[in-house]
A and B are shown apart, each in its own frame.
Chain A
Amino acid sequence: MSTRYNQFGDMLKLLLGVWLGTVMLAMFLWVPPHEGLGNLGRIIIVHVPTAWVTVLAFLISAIYSGLYLRRRRPEHDDRALAAAEAGLLFSILATVTGSVFAKAVWGSFWNWDPRETSIFVLLLIYAAYLALRSAIEDDERRRRLAAVYSLLAFITVPFLIFVIPRIAESTLHPNCALLATSNCEGVTLGLEGSGAPKVSLLGERKVELLDIQERDGVAIARVEVTEPGATSRAILEPSINQRTGQPVEMPEIGGTRFRLKLERLEGERASLNIEQPGSSGLLRNSRTLLTFLASLAGFTGLFYWIYRVRAAVLGIQGRLAEEGVL
């Protein structure tokens, strides 16, 4: 019975290795470069699943903490601890992959974007949970108090994940589809006498419409863009094909991959918006979507495996300690 179970487990383990290996190969060889981000867009295959696993681990840890408080069975605490340890590992992976991407695309490793803030707090919570455990000698008390802390954290974290991104003025993450912030609508500027303001804020940047020119059916808006804190300014010339309504030029904004887009032109009024890299459908390509889903399944499987092995080891340790071997 147990050998057959072990054989089955070994096969699953092997399958998981082959599966994740295939996903990694597909990520670099099979997935086409993203329209806006180029090769940088490939990071989504690793970054998003690790972030998802971090949240999943947090959920599992809280559920088993609650179960422990109710039933007081040490196995439940072992599972809560195993999930938290795996969660710490994956939250570090998500933070590092995201940070590398942020440097390449947004210009700095860390921006205190709402998503970055929430993963940072999850990291702190995992660390605090493990610190609390290491500071209590008595087994039963350690389990009980750690479970209480895990549940307290579980109550307060949703405030970060769901609420702060909503009230924040801007987010760098491509999530206008999920969360409508002030960035998503863009601004309408006008020349003098048109009734619309000449200067406004687009996200954190100041934009000023200088003039509008027309050449062969293509309208060009000359816009001065000033970075936050007036550290630098540049004159950009986004343009639009007036017959089709399609943008022609979308110049990049100072050192980032954000592009300035002229969305509409009515008389002397120009509607401007920031085209976020990735907001034009990171997963629209079917190969990318398939690899992404396979990666999501693979990372979830990897997490589950780590979590089960660790919980089993903790269980054996506990029993050995009870019998006085350890």
Chain B
Amino acid sequence: MFSPSLWRSTWAILRKDLRAELRGRVAINTLLLFAITTVVLVSFRLGPLGISRDQRAVTSIAVLLWIAIFFAAMSGLSRSFVAEEEAGTAPLLRLAASPAAVFAGKLLYNLLLVAVLEALVVLLFAALMNLRVGNPGLFAASLAAGGVGLGVATTIIAALVARASVRGALFTVLAFPLLLPLLVVAVGATELALAGAGWSKAWPELRLLAAYVLALLAASLLLFEQVWEG
């Protein structure tokens, strides 16, 4: 399945999307501004001098962190496919690359955006919300697992809504039920990491996140061809 030509076209699509993004910076600006807005708003009352000083506020911090990530992702991550439809370039892409390569390229692009977004949100939380991480390795693992799930789900759903009307609203409506299990578990894992719990305590959460990501990825790979059809 993963032939050399597939890798090449995947890589080419990723590079094309990155180049287009760096020229227009639509998705990245939306993501970053949304994240900054959320964190600043939260920080005004709960921030450096508010409840975030309290050692026991880990639950609130974990929930707020994922709210900032989730809603910023909802605002920017549908661009990958919506932009192709708006510019009318989707038919050409269908001719130029196989569906697997298109999906893989767009997925990598979305994963990169999620990584940038998470890094920014964590930095903002460190600066504005007294973020103290008890177990940094576990914190990184929970963000990575949750982020990969977010990336996979947003890629396939962006492809679904690209040719519907009212895309923006529909994107969130469709993504939320699929992502709810992921978010609930990711918040739990992040909370444990902030509180400094050991790996063995968070193992069930991490295993569940991994299983969820794998199931969603397998389903998306199988179904994408049907979505991408002309």
- Which A residues have a C-beta under 8 Å from some C-beta of B? 69, 117, 121, 124-125, 127-128, 131-132, 135-137, 141, 144-145, 147-149, 151-153, 155-156, 159-160, 163-164, 167
Return the contact of A160 from the options B181, B220, B226, B227 (Cβ within 8 A): B181
List of A residues within 8 angstroms of B204 by Cβ: 167
Residue B57 CB within 8 A of the other chain: no
Nearest chain A CB to B59 CB, angstrom units: 13
Q: Which of B78-111 contact A (CB under 8 A)?
A: none
* Given A128-B174, A131-B170, A163-B181, A155 and B229 contact (CB-CB distance below 8 Å): no
Q: Which of B207-230 contact A (CB under 8 A)?
A: 208, 211-212, 215-216, 219-220, 223, 226-227, 229
Asked if B173 contacts A131 (CB within 8 A), the reply is yes
A sample of 11 more A-B contacts (CB under 8 A), given A164-B184, A167-B188, is A121-B181, A125-B177, A128-B173, A128-B177, A136-B163, A145-B164, A151-B219, A156-B178, A159-B181, A160-B181, A167-B208
Asked if A121 contacts B164 (CB within 8 A), the reply is no
Asked if B174 contacts A149 (CB within 8 A), the reply is yes
List of B residues within 8 angstroms of A149 by Cβ: 160, 174
Nearest chain B CB to A39 CB, angstrom units: 35
Contact with A along B180-218 (1 / 0, CB 8 A): 110011001000000000000000110010011001100
- Closest A residue to B188 by beta carbon equals A167
A144 to B226, CA, bound (A): 7
Return the contact of B226 from the options A69, A125, A135, A163 (Cβ within 8 A): A69
Return the contact of A151 from the options B164, B170, B223 (Cβ within 8 A): B223
Contact with A along B129-149 (1 / 0, CB 8 A): 000000000000000000000
Return the contact of A132 from the options B164, B208, B216 (Cβ within 8 A): B164
A128 to B173, CA, bound (A): 6
10 A-B interface contacts by CB (under 8 A): A69-B223, A124-B177, A128-B173, A128-B176, A131-B170, A132-B174, A136-B163, A152-B223, A153-B178, A167-B204
Identify which of B177, B181, B216, B229 gathers the most chain A CB atoms within 10 Å of its CB: B177
8 closest A-B pairs by beta carbon, nearest first, are A135-B164, A124-B177, A159-B181, A155-B219, A125-B177, A148-B223, A136-B164, A135-B165
- Closest A residue to B178 by beta carbon equals A156
Asked if B163 contacts A141 (CB within 8 A), the reply is yes
Nearest chain A CB to B220 CB, angstrom units: 7
Number of B residues near A (Cβ < 8 Å) is 31
List of A residues within 8 angstroms of B212 by Cβ: 156, 159
Asked if A160 contacts B180 (CB within 8 A), the reply is yes
A124 to B215, CA, bound (A): 20
Asked if A124 contacts B176 (CB within 8 A), the reply is yes
- Closest A residue to B164 by beta carbon equals A135
List of B residues within 8 angstroms of A159 by Cβ: 181, 208, 211-212, 215
Asked if B177 contacts A144 (CB within 8 A), the reply is no
Nearest chain B CB to A167 CB, angstrom units: 6
Nearest chain A CB to B58 CB, angstrom units: 16
Nearest chain A CB to B156 CB, angstrom units: 7
Asked if B181 contacts A144 (CB within 8 A), the reply is no
List of A residues within 8 angstroms of B184 by Cβ: 117, 164
Residue B166 CB within 8 A of the other chain: yes
A141 to B229, CA, bound (A): 9
List of A residues within 8 angstroms of B216 by Cβ: 152, 155-156
List of B residues within 8 angstroms of A167 by Cβ: 185, 188, 204-205, 208
Asked if A153 contacts B160 (CB within 8 A), the reply is no
Asked if A121 contacts B219 (CB within 8 A), the reply is no
A125 to B226, CA, bound (A): 20
List of B residues within 8 angstroms of A151 by Cβ: 219, 223
Nearest chain A CB to B128 CB, angstrom units: 27
Return the contact of A164 from the options B181, B220, B227 (Cβ within 8 A): B181
- Closest A residue to B167 by beta carbon equals A135
Nearest chain A CB to B151 CB, angstrom units: 15
Asked if A148 contacts B227 (CB within 8 A), the reply is yes
Asked if A163 contacts B208 (CB within 8 A), the reply is yes
Asked if B164 contacts A148 (CB within 8 A), the reply is no
Return the contact of B170 from the options A117, A132, A163, A164 (Cβ within 8 A): A132
A125 to B215, CA, bound (A): 18
List of A residues within 8 angstroms of B178 by Cβ: 152-153, 156
List of B residues within 8 angstroms of A117 by Cβ: 180, 184
List of A residues within 8 angstroms of B188 by Cβ: 167
Identify which of B156, B165, B178 gathers the most chain A CB atoms within 10 Å of its CB: B178
Identify which of B208, B211, B212, B223 gathers the most chain A CB atoms within 10 Å of its CB: B223
List of A residues within 8 angstroms of B160 by Cβ: 132, 145, 148-149
List of B residues within 8 angstroms of A127 by Cβ: 173
Asked if A156 contacts B181 (CB within 8 A), the reply is yes
A144 to B177, CA, bound (A): 20
* Given A132-B164, A135-B170, A167-B205, A152 and B181 contact (CB-CB distance below 8 Å): no
